[in-house]
Each structure stands twice: as structure tokens, then as C-alpha cells.
Amino acid sequence: MCGIGGIIKLENKSINIIDGAKIISKTLQHRGPDDEGFLFFKDEEVICGYGDDTQKQAINNSFNFSAKQHVQQIEQKYTGVFIHRRLSIIDVSESGHQPMCTANSKIWITFNGEIYNYIELRTELEQTGYTFKTQSDTEVLLNAYLHWGNECLQKLNGMFAFTLYDIENKKLFCARDRSGVKPFYYYFKDGLFCFASEIKALRALPFIETSLNERALQHYLLHDAIEYEPEGFLKNIFELPPSHFLELNLYTKDIQLKKYFDVKINDDFTVYNEHDFFTYKEKTERIVTDAIIKRLRADVPVGCCLSGGIDSSVISGVIANHNKNFNAFTATFPGEKIDESNYAKNVVDFTQANWHTVTPTSKELIEDFDKLIYALDIPVWSTSTYAQFRVMQLAKHNNIKVVLDGQGSDELFAGYTHYYTTYVNELLRNKQFKQAASEIKNFGNNFWLLYTKENTKRKLHYNANKKLLNTDFVNTHTEPEGLTNSFSSLNENLHYDFFNHRLKTYLRCEDRCSMHHSVESRTPFADDTSLINLAFSTPSSYKINNGVSKHILRESMKNYLPKTVYNRRDKMGFVTPHNKWLAELAENKADLLLSSKLKPFFADRFFVKTDRLTKKYHRLKNTSNFKEDTLTFKALVFITWADLMKI
């Protein structure tokens, strides 16, 4: 929906928060090109400012959050500022302008996201006496906080990151949604608190102190771990974890973080039972459908990303039942084994969607590489993100501001192949030997290869990367907190992936790729509270059955899928011809691999003979079936990111 930021001086520091506010706003412009707003405050004194991009109707109107003065005319006396960049989705008029306040002007907010159940919450609040002047979900969120306080978070169904300035209680209240769909970063040092939707906005501020966090870089290069810990790639810049809120007492200057949500996991093994399965199936259809329909609420057209897999196809099928004229967007790779366009075409024929396709190429990746890395805000693993980047660009070019996507379903319903090994281990642990043998047989001939690979993957991956990395660099830092592949049940494994790191990483790319193109991506499987609670209460035996993944989702949503997709057994996701692209990318950017900035982290032999005649690049260039080379790609990504961030 938007980009948010803020600067609060807790001590008498000689920094220019007006210039800082303009820097944050300009840096986040892509997240909200439709409107721009500022709130400057000192204790109870507040003034709303506007900039060159502020919607004209939002200036000097009848609302108490109306913009009154151009940011250039604001006095330097204020100690705090909120910044808001708006992508107008719900209530696109000036009544949705932010920062917004309550009727008594005592609580102010800068808010990024969507509260999908805002209609129901508004009705509930109206029944207790609240009145509303706008049609926005922002006003609902403000009154929800006014009515329930911190507990309002328990009522929200949606994706969100926001900061409230509570004047009477002299505090800031910052919160992030349950799974981390929307980002929130902050800096808190020497009496200065700053926050923003993206790291680059904080990095651009001249008065914050930050530098490369080598611990995070080691985790990235050695373990493929991205933001496993609150302090990420830049020192002193922290991520507010999903399912957490932060309170900053403006009087005592104390900061507190608290987790407000977790889900109860069904760890008890349950033998497959047809009667109970039918009950879960009915609940799943009802709640999945409701989650998707709620995310169609918008005052602009809504489309969807369509890969041809189960998740995006379910979303397309449900949308088609409610909107016969919607747009679907697909990345295609004609002639490649990874191409899924035939499945996507089946879904389009089934739903009668307006289909738009894009075929990314290595040449385009090379041309867009710096833009992609800048958009992503932090280093990533693979070229697959570029396909997502281009799909979002395709949506923008077709004037679609909102898309639905399937992130989160794999982590709820066991969509990845590594979940089979966890489930078989669960069966064996519970002495279900006959069922375990049946699952192994139905999975196919590759099960034992998969089983061995999954049980040794971390060690093998660690050793492969370790050989190319500087020994001192490897040994300086311990492994990231919470890194594990040992689980007692399938649902425990799913919970780890959903709430810890795997899904958060995918959602981060989802947010950056979409918002870079001023497109809002909504993920019904990732942030619907009822669906999350139902999925983790569903027994493992209903998620994988007879070698079929996502069994409960397939069966419950069968009527929304063409038979070809319903019967799919392979799993791809956003896949690209990574090694083929990397060979050309590495050749084009070979000089980067010799950069002095990389020398401290890699052994010298990584850089000897870096031309395409070496064995490494020969293999990359001549076989697309060779195991995906992530370390070379990560080296290119890191040095590009470091240059763009001026590290």
C-alpha cells in the first residue's frame, strides 16, 4: 500500500529532521507515488506538512489531518516527524491521506498495509459508539487502537506495519503483521530513533551511524541465511520481527519489544480418518475462499500472479467465481524444462482470465541487474527473483495496482519436497511403518535420494561454501540463531518455515519487487489469521497422503482447479534458468569478482582466472543441469549491493 518513515530526537541533537524527512520520502517514492504527507511534532504541538507530490485535495481541507504547510516552510523546532508515501487502494480520495489522526487529534499514525476485515471492525466499533468520517481502513485502525489499545492487534486480519504517536501516553507504538508481509526497519542509538519501510531510506540519512555487518554477510554466504537475526546486513539497523510490536517511551527513552501472536501447533499424530478429513476439508474450502475474497476489497482493479501451480491457480479460480473480468500475469520460459505456461494456460482457459505474459531473458537481467538489487534492498540468493520482478512490472504496465499471490501456502500445507522426509520421520517415530512404506512407494523412485540429501544437505552445503570462503571469515562468527532442520513433526517443520525465516525471505522479495513498481501484492495464504490457525491445527496425515503434497488443499479446492493442475505432482515456484543466466551475467560482470571489496571474505583462488575458460565457468556455460551455483551469484549480488548502498 505505502511507504512509511520517521525520525524522533529523544535528546537535543543538532540534526536537520526536515531534510531527513525529505530524504526518506524521496527514497520511498516508488512505494507511494499517489500522495505524500508529513507530520511534525514536539510534545503536544503538531503540524501537518505537504510536499511536491502531495495530492492537491489533501491540502487545507476540512479534515483535522489536512496538510497545512509546505515542508520547506516548517520550522526546525520540532523533535519528531512521520513520513508517508501513499499508494491509493482503499478510499482513494483525500480522506485517505496520511499521516492521519483520531477525532481528538491525540493519536497519529503512519500506516503501510491493508486491514482486510476493516468493514467488520468498523461495524463493531460503530456499535460501541464510534463514528467515522472516511471510508479508509486507516481510520478503522486508529479507532481500534483507541478502543482496545495494544490488544487491537489481535483483531486485525491483514498485512501491516505502522507507527502510532500517542500524545497523551507519551509513546510511540510500532507494530508488524504476523508473518512479515510488510517490512519495518528501525535505528535506535544515542537518543535518536528512526524507522522506515526499507533499509535504503535509513541508509540515506546522513546522521545515522552504520556499516557492514560481517556476521550477517557470513550467514548469507555460508548458510544462505538472510536476516535470521534482528540486526541485518547493516550495523545498528534492526528489523522489527513479524508478530511483534515495539513501544518507545518518549519520557524514559526506554524501548520494549513484545511478541503478540503465535499459533498452537497440532503435534499429535492422527491416523487418516475419512470422516474427520471431510470436516477439515469443508473448513479449509470455506476459510481459504473467505481469505481470498476479503483480499479483493479495493477501490481499484485487482489481478493475480499466475504461475500454473496449485496456489496461484486456487486464487485464480476463486477470483473467477466473483469477477469474470480479471487480469492474470505469468512469467514464461519457452523451450525450458522449467516453463509452466501450459499449466497457466489451462487455468486461463478454465477461468477466462485476461492473460498477460512476459519472458525474461539473460540480456534483460544484465540490463536490469543494478535496478533489481537496489529494489530488493538486501542481497538475495538466486536469479528467480528477477522473474517475480518482471511479473510485477507487467502488472504495472497493464495499469493493475493490486495483485494476489500464493506465498505462504507451501508452508501451511506442505508443498515442498523436503516436507516428505519430515513426514516419513514422523510416521516412523509414531510406529506407523505400513503407512511410511506406502508413502515412500507412492512418492516414487527418488525418495531415498531425497531423504539422504535432506538429512545431509546443511553439512554438505556448509562444506561446499566453506572451501571458497576465507578461513578467518568463516571461523569468526557462529551460525545464525534458530538454524535447524530437526523436527519432531511435519507441523513443527511447517511452523518453523512459516514464522521464522523461509517464508519471511520470500515475502520480502514479494514486497520489494511489487512495491518497486508501485504495485500492491496481497498474499491470502500468508496473513489470514483464521487460515493460519486452521492450517496448524490440521493433522499432518491430511497434508501429505499417498505421496501427494497439499492433499487437503487440493481436495478442498478441487472445484476451483482444472484437472491438469489438480493432478500436478511437481513443484517449481518462481524458477529461472539460473545457471544459464549466471554464466552470461558472470561474464558480463567478471571485473566485479576481482573487486577489492570481496577480497577479505573469499579465498584468493576464488578470483584466480575468473574468465570463462576456468572449469567453474565452463560448467556453468555448458550445462544447465549442473547444480545451481548460488555462491558465485551471491558474490555478484553482494558487491553490487555494497556499491549501490555506498558501503
Q: Each residue of 356-392: pLDDT tens digit?
A: 999 999 999 999 999 999 999 999 888 899 999 999 9
Residue 478 DSSP symbol: P
Tell me what pLDDT residue 364 has. Answer: 96
278-293: average pLDDT: 98
175-187: average pLDDT: 97
Q: Are residues 197 and 252 in the same domain?
A: yes
117-142: average pLDDT: 97
Q: Which of 435, 440, 415 is nearest to 313 (CA)?
A: 415
Q: Are residues 337 and 244 in the same domain?
A: no
What CATH number does the domain containing 499 carry?
3.40.50.620
Whether 461 is in a domain gets the answer no
Tell me what pLDDT residue 575 has. Answer: 66
pLDDT at 608 over 70: no
pLDDT at 574 over 70: no
* Chain Cα centroid distance, residue 519: 13
CA distance 34 to 88: 6
- Cell numbers at 33, concatenated: 507515488
Last residue of a domain, one of 225, 259, 293: 259
Please tell me the pTM assigned to this model.
0.94
Q: Are residues 310 and 213 in the same domain?
A: no
Give the model's confidence band at 175: pLDDT under 50 very low, under 70 low, under 90 confident, else very high: very high
CA distance 522 to 518: 13
pLDDT at 201 over 50: yes
Q: Are residues 92 and 215 in the same domain?
A: yes
Whether 628 is in a domain gets the answer no
CA distance 473 to 202: 27
CA distance 462 to 465: 5
Give the model's confidence band at 616: pLDDT under 50 very low, under 70 low, under 90 confident, else very high: very low
Determine contact, residues 412/495, Cβ cutoff 8 Å: no
CA distance 218 to 127: 54
Give the model's confidence band at 613: pLDDT under 50 very low, under 70 low, under 90 confident, else very high: very low
Whether 562 is in a domain gets the answer yes
pLDDT at 238 over 60: yes
Question: Which region, left, alpha or beta, applies to residue 609 given φ > 0 means left and ψ of -120 to 50 means alpha?
Answer: left
Q: Are residues 183 and 288 in the same domain?
A: no
Determine contact, residues 230/244, Cβ cutoff 8 Å: no
Q: Are residues 288 and 161 in the same domain?
A: no
- Cell numbers at 205, concatenated: 540519512
Give the model's confidence band at 350: pLDDT under 50 very low, under 70 low, under 90 confident, else very high: very high
Last residue of a domain, one of 259, 289, 322: 259
Q: Read off the pLDDT of residues 309-338 as tens digits, 9 standing for 90 and up.
A: 999 999 999 999 998 899 999 999 988 888
Q: Which of 18-22, 224-228, 491-495, 567-571 has the lowest mean pLDDT?
A: 567-571
Q: Are residues 155 and 89 in the same domain?
A: yes
Give the model's confidence band at 627: pLDDT under 50 very low, under 70 low, under 90 confident, else very high: low
C-alpha torsion sign, points 564, 566, 570, 572: positive
Whether 593 is in a domain gets the answer no
Tell me what pLDDT residue 10 has. Answer: 95
Whether 449 is in a domain gets the answer no
What CATH number does the domain containing 15 carry?
3.60.20.10
- Cell numbers at 168, concatenated: 497523551
Give the model's confidence band at 618: pLDDT under 50 very low, under 70 low, under 90 confident, else very high: very low
Q: Are residues 279 and 178 in the same domain?
A: no
Q: Are residues 55 and 167 in the same domain?
A: yes
Tell me what pLDDT residue 450 has. Answer: 80
Determine contact, residues 5/25, Cβ cutoff 8 Å: yes
Look up the domain containing 396 and give its range: 274-371+381-415+490-566
Q: Read off the pLDDT of residues 425-442 as tens digits, 9 standing for 90 and up.
A: 999 999 999 999 999 998
Q: Are residues 278 and 253 in the same domain?
A: no
Tell me what pLDDT residue 615 has. Answer: 45
Tell me what pLDDT residue 359 has. Answer: 96
Q: Residue 338, exposed/middle/buried by CB under 10 A (0-12, 13-18, 19+)?
A: middle
Q: Are residues 220 and 304 in the same domain?
A: no
Q: Are residues 235 and 278 in the same domain?
A: no
Tell me what pLDDT residue 278 has. Answer: 96
Average pLDDT over all residues of the chain: 92
Q: What is the β-pairing status of strands 171-176 and 80-86?
A: unpaired
Last residue of a domain, one of 530, 546, 566: 566
The helix or strand, by DSSP H or E, that contains position 560, with its residue range, turns out to be none
Whether 85 is in a domain gets the answer yes
Q: Residue 333, exposed/middle/buried by CB under 10 A (0-12, 13-18, 19+)?
A: middle
CA distance 568 to 267: 28
Number of domains in the chain: 2
pLDDT at 594 over 80: no
Beta bridge partners of 244: 259
Q: In the chain, pLDDT over 90 holds for what percent of residues?
A: 79
- Cell numbers at 507, concatenated: 515475502
Whether 123 is in a domain gets the answer yes
Of the two residues 1 and 99, the one the predictor is more confident about is: 99
Q: Which of 493-502, 536-545, 578-587 has the lowest mean pLDDT?
A: 578-587
Q: Which of 303, 395, 313, 327 is nearest to 358 (CA)?
A: 395
Greatest mean pLDDT among 11-20, 180-189, 618-627? 180-189
Whether 358 is in a domain gets the answer yes
